Amino acid sequence: MDFVLFMVFALIENLGMLTLIFALYRLNLKKYWFPALVISIIMHLVNFYIRNEYLTAYTPVIVLTFIILLLTVVRIPLTWAIVVAITGYIAFNLLQGTLVLLSSLLHFLPLGQIEDSGWRVNVLQLITGVLSFIIGRYLYRRGMGYAFPFERLQFRLGTIGLVIMLSIVAIVSSATLYFNNLYLVMGILLIGFISLIYWAQRKEKEDGDDIL
């Protein structure tokens, strides 16, 4: 039963996360629902079997790796798959961190007791997944987000450095999301997200200028 509950709520959470990630770059997840489902199931099977081991600390790396794998299946070049994955993953963690903070302030989910909160964690996963899905669908239907001809764009050295730095920020911050330094983590994530959005706006503008 524990396995079934873990997989159900994890898949709901993951559906919301992927919808948000794809929408940020105007990608339609519906076209890739089958590979998304298969990769999500494999990812959560891995997470389930390592969650009680010391490898749990590497969960963010595992999640990002599988998201990047899915994006390469969508035929986005690897480098840009990393950018898309990091942007969406940070956005998702910002949303979830906000919900964790609100839950703590309302005494629903104390920060120091998350691992032992049982069904409350499942409720948080459900709410996060549903909200991410709603936000992602809204963004996509409104035509919001960033649309790049990925095959045409090239990285500069400074951009590569930015992506490496933000990869570290995403992994470290999400790994410590449920500890008592939540405000610090949220601040780091917000700075990283703003940096990526600013960078994405510049890239979209540069690409538009090239077309003109």
Residue type, 196: L
Query: Do the beta carbons of residue 146 and residue 204 sit within 8 Å?
Result: yes
Spatial distance between the Cα atoms of 53 and 50, rounded to a whole number of angstroms: 5
Can you spell out the DSSP letters for 115-181? GG-THHHHHHHHHHHHHHHHHHHHHHHTT-S----TTT----HHHHHHHHHHHHHHHHHHHTTTSS-
Q: Whole-model pTM above 0.85? A: no
Q: What is the pLDDT of residues 9-22, one digit of tens each?
A: 889 999 999 999 99
Q: 139: domain range?
A: 2-211
What is the pLDDT, as a whole number, of residue 46? 86
Helices 119-141 and 78-105: angle between axes, nearest 10 degrees: 130
Instruction: Report the b/e string of 24-52 with b at 16+ CB within 10 A.
Output: bbebebeebeeebeebbeebbebbeeeee
Instruction: Report the b/e string of 151-185 with b at 16+ CB within 10 A.
Output: eebeeeeebeebbeebbebbbebbbbbbeeebeeb
Q: Which long-range contacts (CB under 8 A, 24 or more apart) does 154-160 make?
A: 155/79, 159/199
Which tokens go with 124?
């948080």
What is the count of structural domains for the chain? 1
What is the pLDDT, as a whole number, of residue 53? 57
Q: What is the pLDDT of residues 147-204, one digit of tens each?
A: 766 665 555 655 566 666 666 666 665 555 555 566 777 777 777 777 777 766 666 6
Share of the chain above pLDDT 90, in %: 20
